[in-house]
Amino acid sequence: MHLKAKTGLLTAIALGFVALYVFYDLVGEIGGYIFERRVEKVIAMIVVGGAIAFSTILFQTITNNRILTPSIIGLDSLYLLIQTIIIFLFGSSTLTMMNSHYHFLMTVGLMILFAGILYKVMFKREEHNIYFLLLMGIILGTLFQSMSSFMQVMIDPNEFQIAQDQMFASFNRINTDLLWISVALISLVSLYYLKFHKYLDVLALGREHAINLGVEYDKIVKHLLIIIAVLISVSTALVGPITFLGLIVVNIIYEYFKTYRHLYLIFGSIFVSVITLIGGQFLVERIFNFSTPLSVIINFFGGLYFIYLLIKEHKA
């Protein structure tokens, strides 16, 4: 099947899932309110799923590794640490009563600032390559997780429940104002990405080949890493961390398309991400009756898939 036909098929499936989720069992006097809430959730899932899939494609292209995701830099762990510190120092009531815009912008700002400082330090010296950055990300992510766990065992059990809720992504508590801010931020960073899109197919060849072909590798990688940081920060601050979503959908797309052309890989991964989130949320609401968070299901299957990829790479 041609790449355009495969992309068209994914588009049709994604639209079908959107229609199913929005219009299923839409009856009664409150049908208008339910429709509005479902549309908001769908937009949130498209924004979050698209941002995660987009950033994962970019990250795996830069690292030339299909089992890595941007979460390895430690942004998810930093997000949880920020929420835990607020609860630990000021109490859970402060977190719930804090102005949502201020909380969102503060969280996004701190995550981007952390990524910027990490990139600045790592790329300050020529001998520090992308793998040294990944190593530092793993170390700092582990540190943030340890600090979060330490503070969580020190707080009141009731407040620990609030902290625990922040560990899992949820599309049931979307703030509409924050949703549109997220759409604006992701749209701006996507427009900025267009300056570097033409280099991605070459970057996938590796650092040495890209440099030999005239690409300013280090400069472009720095810009792409900032784009990745913004995408992950905004999506995580909006709904919470979904660690393995990018790993699942991007590797599905690699197997589905079997191409190096990033135009198709990016759009394909976004469509698969939307299908996964909307289909999963439909099951959570209609089959599991909200008993299990969507992110738990995704992380469970994502973890199994990650182990499968590790075994597959080891045998290869």
pLDDT tens, 170-183?
777 777 788 899 99
Per the structure, how many domains does the chain have? Answer: 1
If we measure between CA atoms, which residue out of 285, 39, 27, 23 comes closest to residue 176?
39
If we measure between CA atoms, which residue out of 13, 20, 51, 53 comes closest to residue 38?
20
At 86 the pLDDT is: 86
At 28 the pLDDT is: 65
Q: Is the per-residue pLDDT at 167 higher than 90?
A: no
Q: Any residues with CB less than 8 A from the CB of 73 and at least 6 apart, and which?
A: 115, 118, 133, 134, 137, 141, 229
Separation between Cα atoms, residue 311 and residue 316, nearest integer Å: 9
What CATH number is attached to the domain comprising 160?
1.10.3470.10
Percent of the chain past pLDDT 70, that is, above it, reads: 95
At 29 the pLDDT is: 62
Quickly state the pLDDT bin for 217 (edges 50, 70, 90).
confident
At 316 the pLDDT is: 59
Separation between Cα atoms, residue 262 and residue 268, nearest integer Å: 9
Q: Is the per-residue pLDDT at 127 higher than 60?
A: no
Quickly state the pLDDT bin for 136 (edges 50, 70, 90).
confident
Amino acid identity of residue 242, one-letter, is I
At 74 the pLDDT is: 86
CB 119 within 8 A of CB 225: yes
Average pLDDT, the chain: 85
- Which pair of tokens denotes residue 229? 């940081």
Report the pLDDT averaged over residues 268-292. 87
- Output the pTM of the full model: 0.90
DSSP assignment of 103-134? HHHHHHHHHHHHHHHHHHHHTSSTT--HHHHH
Provide the residue range defining the domain that includes 282. 3-315
Q: Is the per-residue pLDDT at 50 higher than 80?
A: yes
DSSP helix/strand/coil, 88: helix
Amino acid identity of residue 275, one-letter, is I
At 314 the pLDDT is: 66
Residue 96, phi-psi category: left (phi > 0), alpha (psi -120 to 50), beta (remainder) = alpha
| pLDDT tens-digit series, residues 198-210 | 899 898 888 888 8
Quickly state the pLDDT bin for 234 (edges 50, 70, 90).
very high
At 126 the pLDDT is: 58
Count the alpha carbons within 13 Å of 278 in the hemisphere toward its beta carbon: 29
